[in-house]
Structures are given as C-alpha cells and as structure tokens.
Structure 1
Amino acid sequence: MLQRIVKPVLLLVLVVLSTHTYATEGMWLPQLLSGLNEKEMKGMGMKISASDIYNINKGSLKDAIVSFGGFCTAEVISEQGLLLTNHHCGYDAIQKHSSLQNNFLENGFWAKTAVEELPNPGLFATFIVRIDDVTKAALQDVKPGMSERERQSAIDKRLNEIRQNARKESWQETLVKPFYEGNQYFLFVTETYRDVRLVGAPPSSIGKFGSDTDNWVWPRHTGDFSMFRIYAGKDGRPAPYSKDNVPLKPKYALSISLKGVKQNDFTMVMGFPGRTTEYLPSEGVKQTVEVLDAAKVEMRDAALKIMDGYMRKDAQIKIQYAAKFAGTANYWKKWKGEMLGVKQTNGIGRKLQYEATYRQLLETNPAWKQQYAGVLDSLNGYYQQIQPYAQTRDYFSELTKNVELFDVGDRLINFLNNVHERGEAQYETMRQQFLESMQPFYQNYNATVDHDVAVSLLALYAKGVPAQYAGTEFTQIWQENNKDSRLLADKLYATSGLTSMDKLKAFVQQPYNTVVAQMWTDPAARLVMAMRKGYVDNVSRPLADLQSNINNLQRTYMQAQMEVMRSKKTFYPDANSTLRVTYGKVDGYNPRDAIHYDFYTYLDGVMEKYIPGDYEFDVPARLIELYKKKDYGRYGVNGKMPVCFIASNHTTGGNSGSPALDASGHLIGLNFDRTWEGTMSDINYDPSICRNIMVDIRYVLFIIDKYAGCTRLIDEMKLL
C-alpha cells in the first residue's frame, strides 16, 4: 500500500479562485462563500451578499435553516418558529397521529389553533450556530507511514479535545466532521430543539400525488409539503416538551416572494445533503454504474415484478406490500436513472479525460511528481481488486433485504447473539421483547409472495456470486438442492419454523440452548447462517482491508487534485449531512432526442393525471372545485395555478425540504426531488440534464389558504 504524507490544506481551497467548474455544480460550505463563490453568484444574478447568507454576528439565512430529524431539511418561515418541510419528511409524524377515526394521511391535518398543534417525541430541529476550521489541531498528531487505524485513532483523540474545549453556551452542542476525504476538519456548534409539533399537512392525494409512478420523474405535480413549529422554554432555549413551552422566536425567518420565477432566474438551495462521491476515479465510477448499480437493479427488478403481480390480483396483499413496494422501488428507480444518466452524458469518458489532464499537469511539476506519482493508478487498481467483493456485498445485501424470510433469520441470529453476550438469565425478558418486535413484521408478511421472491433472487445470487465468495456451506446447500432455487425455496417455506408468527413463537419458546441447537436443523436458519458465514469469511474481511487502502489513496488523490487541478476546477467537499449552499438557474432540459421538458407545471397537469379512486392519482373534491372555478386567489397567474418547477441546483438526499431561494434570498419554493436522468449527480454532475424539483411556494400557500382555509398560518408569514 502506498503511504503518502498528508499535509494540511488549511488555506488551499481559499486560494482556488479561478474556476472552470460548471457554474451550477457544487455543494458549498456557507462560511467560505465570500472567498469562493460570491463573485460568480452575483454574476449569475444574486442580489444579496455572502454575509447575508452566513453571519455569526447577526441573523442570516443560515439561522432559518434546520436539520429536520437528522434526515431532512426544514426552514423557519415566521417569527413564531413555524417550519416548512416536505410531506414525505413529515410522513412518519403524520402517520403516528393518524387513526381510523382521524386519518390525517388520507384527509390532511390542520391545527386551527396553537392548542391543536401535536407533539412528536423524538423529532428535533438543529440550527447551525457557527462553523470553525479545526484542521490544524485535528491533524497535528498525524505522521507519515501511519496505518489508517493509527491515523484515525490519533485524529479521534484530538477531535475529542477540540469538542471539549470549543467555545459554546451550556445548551449548545458540538460535532466535528471531515471534509475533502479527511484533508480538512470543521467544527459545528449547534442548537437542537426537541419540542417540534405538527401544525399542518395536506392529504396524501396532494402531498404524495403521483406516488411511486412519478417518483424521480419530471414533469411533477406534487404538493410535497408539511408544517411544524419549534417550541422552546420561556427563556427561548431548547427544552424538552412541556405544555408551558412557547413558540420559538428565531434569529431569522425567511420572507416569502409571490413573484414566481422565469427562465434563467438565479436560484439557491440551502440544506443538509446526505452523501455524494463526486471525486471517484474512473474505475470507481465505472464500477458503480456498470457493476454495482446493475446488480442491485437486477435483484430489485425481479422482486418488484413478483410483488406487483400479486398486488394487482389481491387487495389484501396490495395493502400489506404497498410500503415495501414503494421502498424497494425508490432506489431501484434512482439507480436506473444513475446508470442512464452516466451513459447518456458519457460520464466515464469525461472522467477519463479529466484524469488525462491531471496526469499531464502532474508531469509539469517535479514536486507534484515526487509526492503524487502513481497515486491515481494505484487507486484505480484497488477499485479493480475490490470489484468482486463489492459486487458480492451488494448481491448479499439485496438478497437478505428483499427475501423477508432471510430477514427473519438474520434478526433471530442477532437476538440469540445478544442473549449470549448478556447471559442466558436475560433470555426470558429478551425473548418477549424480540417477539413483540416481530409482531408488526408478520402482520404485513405473505409467505406465498416471499416464496416466489426467494425463487428468483436465490437463482440470481447463485449466478452472480462465485462459489469462492459464497462460501462452502452455501455451496453445499445449493448442491444438495440440485442448484435449483425453486426446489430450495419449496423446502424452506414448507418446513421452516420462521414463516409465521405462531411458528416463530413456538420455536423460541423452547430453552435457549435448544433453540441454538435447532437453528442448524431449521432449513431457513441454516441457509441464513451459511450465507452470513460465507460473507464474513470470504468477503467482509478482504473488503475492509481493500477499502482501507482505497480510503488512504482517495484522501491523497483528493489532496493531489486540489493542487494539480486548481487552475482547471474549484473544489467543493462531498456532501456529509452538513449545511451547504448550492446555486443554479431555472431551466428546462432535453432528456432524450427530440424531447424537451419545460421548467414549470400547473394545476392543469394534476387534472390531466387525475384518476378517480386511484391511490396515486386521485384528487380531492375540494381541489377539483377550486380548479373548476379558477379560484386561486393571489397565488394564481393569468388564470393558472403554478405547482412545481425545476432548476440546475446540485442536490441530493437530505436536501428534501430545503428552501429554494431567489436572488434576494426570499423563499420561492420547496425542494423535494431530482429528475430521473439527473440522479447521477451524486457521482457525475452534468448541467445539461441534472435538475432539482421544487414545489412552487405559491402552490403551498394556495393549499394552506384556499384549500384548507388555515389563514392563521398565512397571517404569521411575511409575504412579499
């Protein structure tokens, strides 16, 4: 393994001022905008300054943006702590408050008074108070030749000191995150409020209109929003839920523009994007789309086809499997779009061209050659080595996720391992907890459907995973059943004690040692243990070693790129769930030959898609009535009601609920998705087809005001 001296790049990113990066590409740290992006942003039409976006001395845009539950973004839109986020971000909270008598998912929910706003235990909203560069302190003990484990141990020790010594108030918290593959570290001082109450949500027929069919697709017609409110103690500080808590008086609340947008208007999105890998070498990109995505799509294709067939024939199965189907289809569709987008934009070819330029520039500087020679080639070489292990990992993961019987076996093994660790005396208590946790699973389980999924996926697994990685135990079981997935599945589902709640209960009611012994005689449990053992022995260990080498070289290659390519590109760090700013322009795109998509959709399109009674495309009677009367109030334009629009902002998961802002920093929309062809932006951003999808804020206000009649919420917002 190549060992490289990793020197701190404290100021490197600040001196990279010339840029040939696509003007709309990047997820930028807000505290660095003044040095990196402000000039370009103003050139694209921005009317505010970088200090209006991030400022620690006065209220700024960053003070209106929160991490919502750690999985989405939300924004403060009133001086009374009112939050706006996506319907799908608030879905779990809405669901937990729903019942047959008050089905808020189906009918929507609107708190007519503050007293009716509903608490949500476990839900939180986190503000960013300050971001500090702590790279020098974090890396001060890193020495040449350290292993990855030694390096990380040295860094972790320093990070603990940094967090403990950070300047903050008693109610504030800190975290430190790595950036640029661990070449830089930033400290975040945060404030987290844990009394977040549900205020309003449209029915799913608005908030989830189009559901799975329209997911990742443009044109879109979804009113994907919900509303919450942050409550604080009477001193304005974070406090646990109490009836005595009061609405938060925020440092900053977004103003809302009713002007809408037009072609080429500047837009900006702020939020907490989850994860991207923009700086993979060419072999990493090639492996992702040609091998790993392909394997996962193949497995989910088969599972979805079987579920869909049963759901169309049986109403009960349709209910049981609706959420599973949606969950399985979500990333299946994303991966397909990623494969399509990279191919369509010649993403691998562009990456190879980039690497050729990098190599040419590297040769022009003796110091660079001495420090970075061979890094890129070695990194690409390790990606070639890791490919069979990574592919097996994804086959294994998809098999155990999508065959629910194997998921049961996995949970049972983990339960027994936990008993072993804590002692057999805990078996009775832990058994009861385990059975209670399994009850909801079996309520939505159908062994017949799962049997057929197993038949298809076992065959694909055996075909896609060589015996040397599957392991001797799995190979033996496979051979015992004549390498016939149907024969194996028939045996599993006919004789296993894991195919129903009653059977599982009877199985674990036996003494602990008996259950452990009989795991080897139950065919499903035996198969799961065989697959796990094969994976641990033959895949996870070498995979971890190779990944350690890749991490080391990826960090060095990141540093090399930032030095060697600084005249060609401005570098932004990959997403890691920290606050970022991305900016672009309103624009349509051409997904395929002879096809052009405009950048706006209207309520007319909702009615064109309307299918009475359909779970994806039904429309509430009240909305139909408003449409027929063209009763849009101040939110319509020339007799039409805008619904959604797209722009070239660089977003990813975690940006759900992020505010879309105009050139003056006013709220104009709510980010909720990306276009299908542009889902590859996580590894291969291309401005020609990468678009984020936003709900027009006027549609949000129209639903709150004209549809729901909840004018008290409108009254507390600042509308321009």
Structure 2
Amino acid sequence: MQNQFVMKFIKLQIITFLFLFANPLLFAGEGMWLPLLLKSLNEAEMQSLGMKMTAEDIYSVNQGSLKDAIVHFGGFCTSELISNEGLLLTNHHCGYGAIQSHTSLENNFLKEGFWAKSKAEEKPNPGLFAKFIVRIEDVTDQVLKGAKDKMNEKELQSLTDKNIDAIRKSTKLEKHEELEIKPFFKGNQYFMFVTMTYTDVRLVGAPPESIGKFGADTDNWEWPRHTGDFSLFRIYAGPDNMPAEYSENNIPYQPKHFLPISLDGVAEGDFTLIFGFPGRTDQYLPAVAIEQTVDVLNPAKIGIRDKALKIIGAKMRADESVKIKYSSKFASTANYWKKWIGESQGLVATNAVMKKRDQEADFQDKIYKKRKLKKKYGMLLGEFETAYKDIEKLAYSRDYYSEVVGRNIEIFRIQGLLSRLLNIYQENGEAGYENYKRRLIPYFENFYKNYDANIDEEVFAALLEMYVENVDNEYIPPTIFNYAMGYDEIAQELYSKTLFKNSEKLMALLSLPAAEAAEQLKEDPIMQLGEEWKELYDEKVATPYNIKKDKINALQKQYMAALIEAYPDKTFWPDANSTMRVTYGQVAGYHPKDAVYYLPVSYLEGVMEKYKPGDYEFDVSAKLIDLFKEKDYGQYADQSGKVPVCFLGTNHTTGGNSGSPAIDAHGNLVGLNFDRVWEGTMSDLNYDKSICRNIMVDIRYVLFIVDKYAGASHLIEEMKLVHPKK
C-alpha cells in the first residue's frame, strides 16, 4: 500500500515539475517547501519570479549553502548567521525570554536595551540552543518497508516505529550529530534530518522595547507596522569549532556560510525567499473542520484569553514591577489570542468554508468517475462529517480545560509538577523523590520571580466562572459545587490556604523529609482540586477525545493520499511540522477592504506619527527622535532619503518563521520576518494570496539602530555589506 503510494508520488513530482514550468506563476506564494526538493519542484518557478540563484546555492550537502546560515533558535524560532564570527540575528520577541532573564529594576534591558561592547560582555543563556541541519534524506521506503494494505493504523504505527528504530541504529553519524525522522503528508512520506546543536549561545545586543516591541499588542498582526523586532546573539564553540558546553575558553563559531547584507533594499515585485522552521499548518483540512474552528473552538479560546488578558493588562499598566514580571507572559498569551481573532475573520472574509465545499464537490466528482477511486475514497467526506460532529463537544471541553487549567491559571503549573513529584515518590520512593525535587527547585525559583499570586487569584476567579457557565456539568469537578459562595470567595478560600502561592512556603515544604512533605502536599486544597480536575478531564474528555481524534487522523491521512491520486496534474506541499522549509514570493502590498490599498513599505516617519509620549506601546526615545530630526541616517536611508522600517511579502509563513531571514534574489539578507497581517492569519488553514502577507523588518532599519542609535559599530564591522542592485 504505502510503497505503491511512494512510487506514484515520485512520478507525480516529475509531472508537477513540467506542469509548473508551463504555468510559472500559478502557485507563487503558497507553500512551505523542503529545500532538498527545490531542484526538481521549484527552481524554475523561483527563477521566473526573479531569483538569480540555483537550488544548489540554497541547499547543498557538499558545499556551503544558504541552509548552513539558517539556525533553529531554541526550538521555537528561526535565526541566521550574519558574520564569520557566529553572530546570530533573530527577532526581539524570540530573544525576549533571554533578555528578560538578564533584566532587573537596576539593569532594565527590556526598557533600556542592551549592547555588549566586547565579546567579554556577551551574556550566556543556559538552556538556549542553536540547531543546524546537516543534511535531509527521504527515508520513506525504509520507514514503510513491509506495510500492507490490510494493516490497521495501530499495526502500521508499530511497523513504522520498528523501522525508524532500525534506521536510527544503522545510520552512521559524525561526532555531535543527531537525527530526527518526521512524517509528511499525514504519514504518507518520511524524511530524516541530521542535525548538530550548539548550546553556548550568548546575548550580544537588543534594542529597547520602545523599538523592538514598538506598537506592542495594538500593532501585533497589523499593517502598517513600525517595529524593530530584532535581537543579536552569538554562537560559541569549542577549539575544534564543534559544540561545547559554556566555557570562558570557548571561541566564536566559524560557519560554513553566513548571509551578506544588502544595503539596496526592496521594491514592489522583488523576489523574496524566507528560510526557516515553520511550526504547524493544516492546509488540507475538510470544510467541516474549518467550520468547527470558526464557529466553536476559536470563540471559546478567544473568550478565555480575553478575560485573562484584561486582568493582567490592567495590573501591568498600574505597576512597572508587574510589567517587568508579566511582559513576556502577556505577549505570549496575547499573540495567539489576536491571531485566532484574525484567523476567524479571514476565514469568513475569504469564504473559506464555501471554497472548501466547492473543492470537495470537485474531488467527489473526480473520484466518482473512476471506479477504483470511488471504491477506495467514495465515503471519505461523509465520514469526515460524522467524525467532526461526534468530536465537537469533547474538542470544545478539551480547549476549555487546556486554556483555563493548562495555560492561564498559573498556579496549576506548580500543582501539576508537584503532583508528578508525589507520583514519583509513590512509585520510586525517597530516592526518586529527591532526584526529581532537585530538578524542580531551579524551575520553581525562576517561576516565582515572575509570579504574583494576587493577580493569579483574580484570574482564577474569572476563568472558573467562565468554565462553570460554558462547559457541561459532567466535565466540572464536583468540589466546585460544594462551595456555597461566589467565585471570588472560592478563589480567596483556596489561595489563602494553599502552600503554592509563594516561594517561601513551598521551599519550606520541600525542605521537609519526603514522607512528611508528601502528606502535606496531599492535603493542599489546590493539589486536591487540580488532581480531581485532571482525573475527571483524563477520563471523560482526553481519553474519548483521543480515540475519536485517532479516527480523524486516519481519515486525514487517507484524504491526503486521495487528493494526490485524484489530481495528478497538481503539486502538493507538506504541512509545516517544525522542519526546515523554504517559502518564496514577492514584495507586494494588498487590499484589506474596499477602496483601501496598503503600500508594501513603512518608514521611520510612521514611527513618529504613532509616537505617544509615556505610552508603553508607542513611546519613542529621545535619541531616536533626535536622529530623525537631524536626518542622521548614515548609509541606511533609501534613495528618497528615508529609512525603511518594515515591508510586506507574499511568502507563506507561520509560527516558527519568526526570525527567519528575508533573502533577495542573489542570496543576500534584506529583512527579518516577524509577523503576518491580521487579515491573512488564516493562512495556516487556508492560504489566499489576495490578503496573506508576511511582515519583515527592513535590514537597513536593523543596521541603523545598531550603528547610529546604539553606537555598536563594531558589530557592523563584522558584517559583509553589499550593493547587489548596483
């Protein structure tokens, strides 16, 4: 079954190449492509859009190429090398946690910025890593070896697990290399990624929030944008240029390739390439799934975060110390809250459900014309309808629990870890307890630095009320119904008695002998509520949900294979799954609504137009104002004498592409990807070139801030600045 699919798939790629060559602009913009397949699938189209490179320039195993300058930053963002001394560029919001960890009221690097004057001043960040892709290989035949048509999903999974284990054991790796094998096309294809990870990554520079986070939550996902969303780090290596744990004796990493930087900028229509590690997309969902997302799931998640954010935001505006504690958490929570709002609006505005229905009608028509396809896939869409209807209540309750207990009430994070500590004690005794406790202590110490129990208590009361009012009673812990009081009083009762509300009480508890500490943990009211809630959730929501979701996943895998068989003249790209991808397009504005057109470039003038003295989102430092008044732009202004700040492209991006380089037709860095426009955030589910745009910081604004604002010209001297258009 599976090997037959693979052979068909390979043949389809050849057909696809010919099809694309004859229709070079048909798919421009959409897709997140595997770099090792660019030669056969995308090179001709990319060059038709203006690219001057070859596929070998982008991805090569035998020589330095663009891929060797692209780094998976901490596993959650992308970054790129911009000097031969390991200088790493990523977004300010990607480096935010590291910047915050070095921030205090005395040295407020979030507010004032940070610039190391020498390598000796660069700050280490334990736990932060930089991962490179050494090579990528198609291992589909090996992973699916022995697969039979009659195998069910459980049998097939057991077989693939066994085969993947065999590949791991048989693959020869160099020192420091590791491998990952991931499924593509819903498990119809598999690729192996050989990687190398550096763990000594130091903070080099970051602009103040008034630049790196300018516009904050108001401008998030919006255009025009004026955010200098960047930060600088450096990779350090051992004397052999190989990965090494932090040491003062480590030296800057010497890369196989780093990105030259273009000072010529971009113009509408210019080719743009985004290289990075996009997190997750679901482009091949059926219409019923999109409908459920818009009508049921997104509104629930949006409502919960909206309530929590309003409480925390008010506290942050009233107290600077609270703002420092909660700024990173607030931004993280607000990011997807606003994204879901834009996603739902975009799906409605582009008639995504109706378009999916039309596509499905065409699909049904095609397979019904071929007896073999009708027999294999004729019932698929009907099964989807039934499966999504069957899972809806569970999916809704699952999202409610995840958002309320798993995400937005912080004290349950502590409770969950301590619950695991109790389980380890019961299973492995005192030795296991002490070992796990030692691992927890540093986490707790860091957690309480940025935790306010009074704020959390208020959030608890508000979200508990939402949970009880919106979720079926069978999913609500019975203890809640035992309280004959309001939600504020319930929260006050629990938080006044728990030992988890502050570090001192918890550390005192953990200093007790294991047996005594375990007994007190069992009696804690937050522990009791959390365990009751989790047990109820696991039994009545998670377990039945997972069973139904497995069925949907099996249908989705079958649907993916069906689409490829039904449309032999169409190219398909695999959904994002945090693996290295290339997406390409052009600089372009867009029409967000009737009679409105957004130009694709914003300028420093726009920063000054938005300036609101004292406002935490739109304040501007005196230094930047002076540079603007004096037009002291150095070599970073465009031909009109203005400093570009951000620009738009048609590149298909998602979470994980934050920090990805925007690369020009010649392979030079022209910008830094950091966001999408609000109207197009639905691109994870439904890319529409008419409104889907990614937002990038213009690299000249980055250099202007580094050089003229921060005075860190020593960093500019490391870089290779070029003029490809001249």
Please give the range of the TM-score, normalised by the shorter of the 2 chains: over 0.9
SS at match of 2:385: helix
Amino acid at match of 2:33: W
The CA distance in 1 between the partners of 2:481 and 2:101, in whole Å, is: 47
Match of 1:416 in 2: 422
Match of 1:593 in 2: 594
Match of 2:278 in 1: 273
- Shift in Å at residue 621 of structure 1? 2.3
- Shift in Å at residue 668 of structure 1? 0.7
2:356 is the counterpart of 1:351? yes
Match of 2:617 in 1: 616
2:553 is the counterpart of 1:551? yes
The CA distance in 2 between the partners of 1:138 and 1:192, in whole Å, is: 25
The CA distance in 2 between the partners of 1:349 and 1:171, in whole Å, is: 50
Match of 1:26 in 2: 31
The CA distance in 2 between the partners of 1:318 and 1:199, in whole Å, is: 24
- Shift in Å at residue 681 of structure 1? 0.9
The CA distance in 1 between the partners of 2:502 and 2:258, in whole Å, is: 52
2:568 is the counterpart of 1:571? no
* 1:148 aligned residue (137, 145, 153): 153
Change (3 A) 1:436 1:653: closer
Q: Tell which deviates more after alignment, 291-300 or 478-487.
A: 478-487
2:240 is the counterpart of 1:235? yes
- Shift in Å at residue 628 of structure 1? 0.8
- Shift in Å at residue 79 of structure 1? 2.8
The CA distance in 2 between the partners of 1:239 and 1:457, in whole Å, is: 45
Amino acid at match of 1:110: W
SS at match of 1:89: coil
Amino acid at match of 1:621: A
2:86 is the counterpart of 1:72? no
The CA distance in 2 between the partners of 1:358 and 1:501, in whole Å, is: 59
The CA distance in 1 between the partners of 2:612 and 2:594, in whole Å, is: 30
Amino acid at match of 1:463: E
* 2:6 aligned residue (5, 8, 20): 8
- Shift in Å at residue 207 of structure 1? 1.7
The CA distance in 2 between the partners of 1:6 and 1:543, in whole Å, is: 32
* 1:403 aligned residue (396, 400, 409): 409
2:542 is the counterpart of 1:537? no
Conserved? CA contact 1:84–1:228, under 8 Å: yes
Match of 2:287 in 1: 282
Change (3 A) 1:500 1:138: same
- Shift in Å at residue 646 of structure 1? 0.9
Match of 1:166 in 2: 171
Trace 1:69-108 onto structure 2 (pairs within 5 A): 69-99=74-104, 102-108=107-113
SS at match of 1:423: helix
Match of 1:206 in 2: 211
Change (3 A) 1:177 1:405: closer
Q: TM-score, normalised by structure 2?
A: 0.91
The CA distance in 1 between the partners of 2:438 and 2:166, in whole Å, is: 42
The CA distance in 1 between the partners of 2:498 and 2:179, in whole Å, is: 49
Q: Tell which deviates more after alignment, 504-513 or 446-455.
A: 504-513
Write the deviation string for residues 139-178 of structure 1: whole angstroms up to 9, x where unpaired. 0032333343332221122112223323543343222111
Change (3 A) 1:449 1:225: closer
Conserved? CA contact 2:13–2:571, under 8 Å: no
Amino acid at match of 1:455: A
Match of 1:485 in 2: 487
Match of 1:659 in 2: 661
The CA distance in 1 between the partners of 2:458 and 2:63, in whole Å, is: 60
The CA distance in 2 between the partners of 1:324 and 1:231, in whole Å, is: 28
2:688 is the counterpart of 1:683? no
Trace 1:519-530 onto structure 2 (pairs within 5 A): 522-530=524-532
SS at match of 1:644: strand
Amino acid at match of 2:282: T
Conserved? CA contact 2:296–2:396, under 8 Å: yes
The CA distance in 2 between the partners of 1:647 and 1:483, in whole Å, is: 54
- Shift in Å at residue 339 of structure 1? 0.9
* 2:646 aligned residue (644, 647, 668): 644
Conserved? CA contact 1:86–1:657, under 8 Å: yes
- Shift in Å at residue 436 of structure 1? 6.1
Conserved? CA contact 1:658–1:671, under 8 Å: yes
Aligned length: 713
2:375 is the counterpart of 1:376? no
> How many percent identity over aligned positions?
53
Trace 1:296-335 onto structure 2 (pairs within 5 A): 296-314=301-319, 317-335=322-340
The CA distance in 1 between the partners of 2:364 and 2:585, in whole Å, is: 31
Amino acid at match of 1:524: I
The CA distance in 1 between the partners of 2:495 and 2:251, in whole Å, is: 55
Q: TM-score, normalised by structure 1?
A: 0.92
Amino acid at match of 1:153: S
Match of 2:181 in 1: 176
Amino acid at match of 1:678: G
Match of 1:364 in 2: 369
Match of 2:133 in 1: 128
- Shift in Å at residue 99 of structure 1? 4.7
Conserved? CA contact 1:119–1:197, under 8 Å: yes
The CA distance in 1 between the partners of 2:114 and 2:69, in whole Å, is: 24
Conserved? CA contact 2:277–2:657, under 8 Å: yes
Match of 2:707 in 1: 705
Conserved? CA contact 1:5–1:145, under 8 Å: no
Change (3 A) 1:188 1:498: closer
Amino acid at match of 1:128: I
SS at match of 1:8: helix
Conserved? CA contact 2:268–2:587, under 8 Å: yes
The CA distance in 2 between the partners of 1:427 and 1:263, in whole Å, is: 61
The CA distance in 1 between the partners of 2:3 and 2:62, in whole Å, is: 38
Write the deviation string for residues 211-232 of structure 1: whole angstroms up to 9, x where unpaired. 2222222211111112223333
Amino acid at match of 2:561: Q
The CA distance in 2 between the partners of 1:318 and 1:686, in whole Å, is: 37
Q: Tell which deviates more after alignment, 306-315 or 35-44.
A: 306-315
Change (3 A) 1:443 1:291: same
* 2:473 aligned residue (464, 467, 476): 467
